[in-house]
Amino acid sequence: MDKNILLATDFSKASWNAIQYAIKLYEKQDCNFYILNSYSKESHGLDNMTLLDPDQAFNKISEGRSKEGLGDILTKLSNINTNLNHRFHVISESTLLLNAIQKLNKKLQFDMIVMGAKGIHNKEDESYGKNTLEIIKSIRKCPVLVVPANVSFNYPQEIVLSTNFHTKIKSSEIKYLTEIAKISNANIQVLSQFDTDKLTFKQKRNKVRIRKHLKGIEHNFNTLHNVKMATALSCFVEIRNSNMISFIDKKPSLWERFGFGKFSLNKLGYYSNVPVLALHGK
């Protein structure tokens, strides 16, 4: 069955890099790639074009720029991609990016969303963009692959799965991690902060589930003690030159939805040279 993959773009070099990464990663798969640009006078950030005037004429200008930009992307893709397994569709939406993705996901049921780590309006600091975090938090039925601007494509040889086994991962989600491992011939290193004898019954059960999901794929369980997960993960990835990070994003609590506390991806730190795959847990 063909995959439906959403590629969000704000026409920046960063979003173009994310598009290229996705296409190369799935070069051997039958895929429908949906390239989305949204624009709204009320928002700033990743994949949104800012209007300077609420007048309808400016909305028409913004629409024209969006469609022109999407056309340019199709032209570039036709020059560099001759893969008969790939089909490209462009979508221009006059709405907030999150609203556009939610609507399209209901209709097309994407297998994955691929986007840059931050948009053209985000500050140049070591953090993920507001829209990137919002989409991971809100789109619960689809994994999200975040590709920083500095990432050059190579098939990942080692993927680090960061988890403390508190969250039950959906089998419908982890299959995308195992699929990437298989098409890349990569091993998976599960990284946690707990030894087996220190796990609760729930954690042990979730660890068994992960082991079952990873059957047939080379994998190991690793433990780093007495450090925050962000520090442990950063050191682990740097020392081993890991090529991708994955984590299980649990459903935000009511407290987090009101803006208190960090979302899961921010808790892991910012990685400018490594793509991150967010999987959603129960």
Domain ranges of the chain: 3-147, 158-280
pLDDT of residue 48: 47
- The three-state secondary structure class of 158 is strand
DSSP string for residues in 44-78 = -STT-PPPS--SHHHHHHHHHHHHHHHHHHHHHHH
Q: Mark residue 261 as left, alpha or beta (left: phi above 0; alpha: psi -120 to 50; beta: remaining).
A: left
Convert the pLDDT of each residue in 194-224 to its tens digit: 888 889 999 999 999 999 999 999 999 999 9
- Whether pLDDT at 53 is above 60: no
- CATH architecture for segment(s) 158-280: 3-Layer(aba) Sandwich (3.40)
List the one residue out of 98, 113, 129 whose CA is nearest residue 173. 113
Fold match flag (3-147 vs 158-280) = yes
> In the chain, which residue ranges form alpha helices assigned H by DSSP?
13-25, 56-80, 97-108, 130-138, 171-184, 201-213, 229-240, 254-257, 264-267
- Whether pLDDT at 253 is above 60: no
- Residue 36's identity, in one-letter code, is L
107 burial level (CB within 10 Å; 0-12, 13-18, 19+): exposed
More confident residue, 254 or 72: 72
Task: Name the CATH superfamily for 3-147.
Answer: HUPs (3.40.50.620)
More confident residue, 26 or 1: 26
Which residues contact residue 64 at a Cβ distance below 8 angstroms, ignoring those fewer than 6 apart? none
Tokens read off for 182: 């298989």
Which residues contact residue 52 at a Cβ distance below 8 angstroms, ignoring those fewer than 6 apart? 58
Convert the pLDDT of each residue in 128-158 to its tens digit: 888 999 999 899 889 999 999 999 999 999 9
> Across residues 264-276, what is the average pLDDT?
87
